[in-house]
């Protein structure tokens, strides 16, 4: 019996890795740039469809397809921020929410028009079917393991990028005081665009993993957004390692909840989120 | 690009600056030469900070011409202006509180001309900052923060340094320490434009001064050539 619970715990931790990947881009835009991209989940789904095209139409390996999408995603995020979102940043928080909400609707309906409502999935080949048996009924999928490792590596890389590089210091400076940055010749407009580009690279990485992990359809975005949002709030806004902890907490809550009753899987995650929010609104590892 | 007596480092000619329809600066002419210290004095709301904003490219609308080292810089982006050699020490210091002292300073180097003034010079001028370089700038005292702000500006290797109210809210001893650096800055051939409400301090260090009142220059000259009463009259518009 104990082994069953340990197994569920393990699955929860690994699921937390996927959730952390969802949250990275939002953690950057909400925690560092101080605005919420409501279309975050839809952009993950959009990237999933881009990967679907590359893997089916061109027959590319999903890893290669993801590598191709990364620079495109950076450029996409950069241009989106520079020429659309920048127009509403700092004016009024509501405007950014409205604009990204509109983007969310456009993406969902555009995808529905182009691909239909059927769930899609990208095949991960051997990665997907291989499992590691730890004995006593405790197993985990190789792909799930890889996803978790990728999440930890991504958090570490982003943390280094933000706290150990020149561009990271500039992003944090703009996050501290936009007007002061402009006064000393740090172009906040360009730095915001670069940060959004980085955020979109993480979106593409998340898409690479979730498109193999589970099905996606045009309407899957808001669920991804909700998870990402819960993860960054659980972890503490702006704290990248906190997001990893938040993802794991959410993953474990869902796995344990699902063990009681499968109907409770999603609900258990939300309940844990609400409880933490009530008891510790600043999150587990607050940055601010 | 050379600066001669005929073409000063900074030449502000017939400049007006607007906030909406409000004319905050009204047909002002000001020059600063290389290695010259120029003070702008004036009461609150006289337009001193607005003028600095116009020079650095952060004013809403500017009419007239501002030229730096012979090139017009009106309408240029701040990034380009800073890169060409003008750096501001903003009012209220405006450090990035969550960044360390060293990170704040490094930003100055990155936006600037990357010339002879380096970290060694800053550590020599402000040994205290070297000890605190890994601390968050927001945790420093006001005086130390102003040193970082000045250090950040110097690391940009400016040819023209704009100082906006650097003595504001600081203890007199700290202010003395900061102003003691001005001769050294001048010796490097850097032009300095100082905006201060503290008239005594400002005139003591300046080669020339301009007095602003309601956006206009009401008096200009060398501090030694005018009496205190004359300055006061023009400062308050009596």
Percent of chain A with pLDDT over 90: 83
* Residue A286 pLDDT: 82
> What confidence score (pLDDT) does residue A238 get?
83
pLDDT at A30 over 90: no
- Confidence check: pLDDT of A285 > 90: no
Q: CA-to-CA distance for A210 and A98, rounded, in angstroms? A: 27
Q: Is residue A284 part of a domain?
A: no
* Residue B223 reports pLDDT greater than 50: yes
Q: How do residues B52-105 score in pLDDT, each as one tens digit?
A: 999 999 998 999 999 999 999 999 999 999 999 999 999 999 999 999 999 999
**Which chain B positions have a beta carbon within 8 Å of A162's beta carbon?**
none
Question: CB–CB of A180 and B96 under 8 A?
Answer: yes
Asked if the model's pLDDT at residue B2 lies above 70, the reply is no
CATH number given to B10-91+159-236:
3.40.50.300
The answer to whether residue A261 neighbours chain B at the CB level (below 8 Å) is no
Q: For A153-174, what is the mean pLDDT? A: 95
What pLDDT score was predicted for residue B1?
A: 44
B90: chain A residues, CB-CB within 8 Å: 180, 183-184
A185 inside 8 A of chain B by CB:
yes
Model confidence over B131-164: pLDDT tens digits?
Answer: 999 999 999 999 999 999 999 999 999 999 999 9
Q: In what order do the strands lie in the sheet with B208-213?
A: B86-89, B160-164, B191-196, B37-42, B208-213, B216-221
Res B168 pLDDT > 60: yes
User: Residue A277: is its pLDDT beyond 60?
Assistant: yes
Is residue A130 within 8 Å of residue A142, measured between CB atoms?
yes
Residue A227 lies in a domain: yes
User: Residue B238 above 80 pLDDT?
Assistant: no
Give B87's contacts in chain A (Cβ within 8 Å): 184-185
Q: Per the domain annotation, does A260 fall within a domain?
A: yes
Share above pLDDT 70 across residues of chain A, in percent, rounded to a whole number: 100
Task: Determine whether the interchain pair B87/A184 forms a contact, defined as Cβ–Cβ distance below 8 Å.
Answer: yes
Of B85, B96, B111, B152, which to mutate for an interface test with A (greatest number of A Cβ within 10 Å)? B96
Q: The whole model's pTM is what?
A: 0.92
Q: How distant is the alpha carbon of residue B85 from its chain centre? A: 12
Q: Domain containing A40: what range?
A: 2-279
Q: Given an 8 Å threshold on Cβ–Cβ distance, is A169 in contact with B94?
A: no
pLDDT at B197: 84
Mean pLDDT, residues A120-133 taken together? 91
Between CA A21 and CA A150 the distance in angstroms is: 8
Cβ-contact B108, B96 below 8 angstroms: no
From B40's Cα to the closest Cα of chain A, the distance in A is 19
Enumerate residues 6+ apart whose C-beta is below 8 A from A11. Answer: A140, A144, A251, A255
Range of weakest confidence among A30-34, A247-251, B184-188: A30-34
Say how many domains are in chain A.
1
């Amino acid at each position: 019996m104990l082994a069953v619970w340990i197994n569920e715990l393990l699955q929860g931790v690994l699921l937390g890795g996927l959730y952390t990947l969802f949250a990275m881009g939002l953690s950057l835009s909400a925690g560092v740039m101080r605005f919420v991209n409501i279309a975050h989940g839809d952009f993950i789904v959009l990237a999933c469809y881009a990967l679907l095209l590359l893997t089916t139409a061109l027959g590319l390996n999903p890893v290669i397809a993801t590598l191709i999408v990364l620079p495109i995603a950076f450029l996409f995020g950069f241009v989106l921020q520079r020429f659309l979102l920048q127009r509403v940043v700092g004016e009024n928080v509501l405007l950014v929410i409205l604009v990204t909400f509109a983007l969310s609707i456009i993406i969902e309906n555009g995808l529905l028009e182009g691909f239909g409502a059927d769930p899609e999935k990208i095949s991960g080949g051997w990665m997907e079917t291989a499992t590691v048996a730890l004995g006593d009924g405790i197993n985990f999928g190789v792909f799930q393991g890889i996803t978790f490792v990728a999440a930890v590596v991504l958090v570490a890389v982003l943390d280094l990028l933000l706290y150990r590089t020149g561009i990271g210091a500039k992003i944090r400076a703009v996050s501290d005081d936009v007007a002061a940055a402009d006064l000393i010749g740090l172009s906040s407009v360009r730095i915001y665009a670069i940060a959004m580009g980085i955020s979109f690279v993480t979106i593409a990485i998340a898409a690479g993993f979730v498109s193999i992990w589970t099905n996606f359809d045009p309407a899957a975005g808001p669920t991804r957004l909700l998870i990402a949002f819960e993860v960054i709030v659980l972890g503490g806004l702006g704290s990248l390692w906190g997001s990893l902890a938040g993802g794991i907490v959410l993953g474990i809550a869902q796995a344990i909840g699902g063990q009681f009753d499968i109907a409770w899987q999603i609900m258990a995650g939300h309940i844990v989120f609400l409880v933490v929010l009530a008891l510790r609104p600043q999150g587990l590892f607050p940055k601010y | 690009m050379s600066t001669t007596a005929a073409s000063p480092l900074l030449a502000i000619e017939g400049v007006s600056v607007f906030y909406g329809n409000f004319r905050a600066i009204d047909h002002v002419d000001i020059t600063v030469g290389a290695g010259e210290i120029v003070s702008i004095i004036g009461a609150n709301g006289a337009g001193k900070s607005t003028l600095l904003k116009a020079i650095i490219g952060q004013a809403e609308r500017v009419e007239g011409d501002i030229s730096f080292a012979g090139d017009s810089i009106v309408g240029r982006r701040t990034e380009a202006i800073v890169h060409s050699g003008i750096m501001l020490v903003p009012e209220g210091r405006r450090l990035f509180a969550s960044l360390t002292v060293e990170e704040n300073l490094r930003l100055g180097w990155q936006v600037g001309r990357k010339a002879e003034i380096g970290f060694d010079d800053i550590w020599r001028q402000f040994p205290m900052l070297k000890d605190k370089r890994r601390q968050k700038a927001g945790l420093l005292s006001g005086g130390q923060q102003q040193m970082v702000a000045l250090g950040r500006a110097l690391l940009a290797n400016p040819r023209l340094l704009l100082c906006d109210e650097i003595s504001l809210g600081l203890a007199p001893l700290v202010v003395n320490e900061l102003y003691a650096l001005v001769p050294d800055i001048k010796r490097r051939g850097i032009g300095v434009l100082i905006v201060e409400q503290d008239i005594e301090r400002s005139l003591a260090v300046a080669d020339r001064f301009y007095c602003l009142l309601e956006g206009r220059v009401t008096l200009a000259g060398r501090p030694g050539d005018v009496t205190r009463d004359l300055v006061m009259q023009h400062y308050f518009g009596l």
